[in-house]
A and B are shown apart, each in its own frame.
Chain A
Amino acid sequence: MSTQAQSLSPRAVTWARRRRAMARAWRDYRTQRSGMVGLVLLGLIVVLAVAAPLLIDASALSVTQATGGRMEPPSAEFWLGTDETGRSVLALTLWGTRLSLVIGLTATVAAILVGTLVGITSGHVGGWYGWIALRVSDWFMVLPSLVVAIALLAVLGRSVATTVTVIAIVSWSGTARLVRAQTLTVQARPYLERARALGAGHWHQMTRHILPNVLPLVLASATLLVPSAILMESSLAWLGLGDPNVVSWGSILNRASNNGAVSAHAWWYLLPPGLAILVVVAAFMMCGRALEAVFNPRLRGEAP
């Protein structure tokens, strides 16, 4: 009796179903080689970012305590050479991982929150609000993101917070459109009609029925948004619009170009931060594409 009552509890049934769905998704994900490669790479990068203080002391980033010469090529002491102030490029790149990841992830979370909120509400509520929300997100989608980001940063000032805000502002619209489209599809299904007939309010419909259905899509789109946020951050920092007090991959390359690293043939100064960006972005893209293939059956089996 009691076991039967337990198994009939709606919450338990729901969660059992969700666990099964997640297990199935994970099984599908595991079959995609590039997705697994991306996941392993990301794991390694996150470990390196978290463990950075254990590997190299933060004092290695200080210009005044630098021990090397000006743009020295790689040696036993400095594996990846030094920058124009004599700091180790290896230390800079390793510490840069933290900021680049933090900015990329925070901006993505902010963009995804806004995009999901606007997408679900505009798809569910519709009417004037839905129309205006659609027009505004279309508008943001068409505008060249870097131009908007530069304009905003030029007037807002340079800091980590403004960088995150600006990247979120230019990247929420894609998610909003995607979520809106999915909301409209879910909306047309009979079980929502049933929920409405049973007296479900808008809040209940949106959080209990629509949200769980759009979440997988949101997850895949978030994974593909992180790499573009990281690329955007590095472009802005390279242009000199990053926070001047912190080290990110883009800001390392900004100093490299300002101090003539290219004409000095200082390849050790240019390669590590750029390759780091490339590896992280590619890893996120591989994971995102694999997730997309898991949640979007049309693409299944397409992974390279």
Chain B
Amino acid sequence: MTAHRPSADGSPDRDPSAEQAPAAGTRTAPTGRVTTGFGRYLLKHVSGAAVSLLLVLFSSFFIFRLIAGDPIDQLTRERPVTPEQREAMRAELGLDQPMWNQFLDYITGTLTGDLGTSLQFRRPISELVLERLPATLLLAGTGVVLAVLLGFWIGTRAGWKQGSRFDRAHVTTGLLLYSAPTFWLGMIAILVFARYLGLFPVNGMRSPSTPDEFLPQALDIGHHLVLPVLTYTAVVYAGYLMVMRSSILDEVGADYLTTARAKGLRDDAVRRRHAVPNALLPTITLVFLAIGGIVNGAIVTETVFSWPGLGSLFVSSIFYPDRPMLQALFVLFSSSTIVAVLGAEILYWFIDPRIRKS
């Protein structure tokens, strides 16, 4: 089928098999074909993601156990220890085992949810991660939803009226916000809105004085959430804006839009019902590929605002240094992006018919 040369003669898409399939088979035949197609597609992407996840485990072991050197030196930096104590610590942490055994222990431990013990909190890492996870999801989730909505909406309008005042103003604003370092924007937001104007709390997620009921607590968290979410959105939305804008620009001259206008549709309807759905597809791919950026932004924003999530936990572990925690969060952040991209690829099967055809 690849040898087939479509549109060499200017005729529209000629895929003989696609045209014959419904006619040749019974009702079940095409359905069966689609399922095996999806099965193969799924298998290909799931196995790819599995290899990526293994690579993450492997590289985290490589970074934190091999090039990081002996953790005992780090742990005993400030106090004198006898060689016997060192040996005891090594045995306790499993460091007296051969490297290969350590690696297997590490892999099985991670796969069964045992991420080790944090050095700074002296508690199981999985417990700490579960405690901190909701705060991160709240901040990053709200921020991403806002950024996507804002970016797509402005991007569509800017691309639709390319070169207009609206377009130029928003592209410039987006470019400037995109150029600002997240942490600096956060610091300035704190300085202006929390310190000078006193509108919002300086940092954290809750005030200690809030009554212990649902509504006051929710309002308090919402109040604390405003500045971090705005900072986060400000930096992230510009990327979505640019992608959506150039995607719309690709569609603007298309013939089907002229047809839609010729039918007498209003400009608004042409944009919303015809141009946007087509422009969304490439945009969604890019947005999912940029998921790593969401994690980056969350780490920096949480640190600026002392937001009690996983990002600030990661940063606070650098200087302790809490190697097991760093390692666990490295694996967690990396694998969550891999899983998210896998999810996007599966979603793509359902929203883009072209993938099903090829």
Which residues of A come within 8 Å of B, CB atoms? Answer: 135, 138-139, 141-148, 150-152, 154-156, 227, 231, 234-235, 238-241, 250, 253, 256-257, 262-263, 265, 267, 270-271, 273-274, 277-279, 281-282, 285-286, 298-299, 302, 304
The CA of A168 and the CA of B67, in the complex, are separated in Å by 18
Task: Report whether B330 and A235 are in contact in the complex, using a CB–CB cutoff of 8 Å.
Answer: no
> With a CB–CB cut-off of 8 A, which chain A residues contact B293?
144
A144-B333, A274-B180, A274-B184 as given contacts; A150 in contact with B314, CB under 8 Å: yes
Task: Report whether A238 and B330 are in contact in the complex, using a CB–CB cutoff of 8 Å.
Answer: no
> With a CB–CB cut-off of 8 A, which chain B residues contact A257?
187, 304
A to B CB contacts below 8 Å, 26 in the list: A138-B52, A142-B289, A143-B56, A143-B334, A144-B292, A144-B333, A145-B292, A146-B296, A147-B299, A148-B330, A150-B314, A154-B321, A227-B179, A231-B181, A238-B181, A238-B184, A239-B303, A240-B318, A241-B318, A257-B187, A270-B184, A270-B187, A274-B180, A274-B184, A277-B181, A298-B250
Asked if B231 is an interface residue, CB under 8 A from chain A, the answer is no
The CA of A152 and the CA of B318, in the complex, are separated in Å by 11
Determine the residue in chain B with the shortest Cβ distance to A147: B333
The CA of A265 and the CA of B172, in the complex, are separated in Å by 29
Contact of B63 among A152, A240, A270, A273 (CB under 8 A): A152
Contact of A304 among B172, B183, B303 (CB under 8 A): B172
Asked if B315 is an interface residue, CB under 8 A from chain A, the answer is yes
Task: Report whether A265 and B195 are in contact in the complex, using a CB–CB cutoff of 8 Å.
Answer: yes
Given contacts A146-B299, A227-B179, A256-B187, 10 further A-B contacts (CB under 8 A): A139-B55, A141-B289, A147-B299, A150-B299, A151-B63, A151-B64, A155-B64, A241-B318, A253-B183, A278-B180
Task: Report whether B333 and A235 are in contact in the complex, using a CB–CB cutoff of 8 Å.
Answer: no
Contact of A145 among B64, B296, B314, B319 (CB under 8 A): B296
The CA of A250 and the CA of B341, in the complex, are separated in Å by 31
Asked if B227 is an interface residue, CB under 8 A from chain A, the answer is no
Which residues of B come within 8 Å of A, CB atoms? Answer: 48, 51-52, 55-56, 60, 63-64, 67-69, 162, 167-168, 171-172, 175-176, 178-185, 187-188, 190-191, 195-196, 202, 246, 249-250, 289, 291-296, 299-300, 303-304, 314-315, 318-319, 321, 326-327, 329-330, 333-334, 337-338, 341
Determine the residue in chain A with the shortest Cβ distance to B56: A143
The CA of A101 and the CA of B276, in the complex, are separated in Å by 40
> With a CB–CB cut-off of 8 A, which chain A residues contact B250?
298
How far does the Cβ of A35 sit from chain B's closest Cβ, in whole Å?
12
**Across chains A and B, which 9 residue pairs bring their CB atoms closest together, nearest first?**
A274-B184, A144-B295, A144-B292, A155-B68, A281-B179, A146-B296, A282-B179, A304-B171, A147-B333
How far does the Cβ of B227 sit from chain A's closest Cβ, in whole Å?
12
Contact of A144 among B51, B182, B337 (CB under 8 A): B337
> With a CB–CB cut-off of 8 A, which chain A residues contact B167?
304
Determine the residue in chain B with the shortest Cβ distance to A279: B179
The CA of A139 and the CA of B53, in the complex, are separated in Å by 9
Task: Report whether A146 and B63 are in contact in the complex, using a CB–CB cutoff of 8 Å.
Answer: no
Determine the residue in chain B with the shortest Cβ distance to A298: B250
A144-B292, A235-B183 as given contacts; A274 in contact with B188, CB under 8 Å: yes
Determine the residue in chain B with the shortest Cβ distance to A299: B246
> With a CB–CB cut-off of 8 A, which chain B residues contact A265?
191, 195-196
The CA of A268 and the CA of B184, in the complex, are separated in Å by 13
Determine the residue in chain B with the shortest Cβ distance to A227: B179
The CA of A270 and the CA of B192, in the complex, are separated in Å by 12
The CA of A129 and the CA of B282, in the complex, are separated in Å by 28
> With a CB–CB cut-off of 8 A, which chain B residues contact A234?
181, 183-184
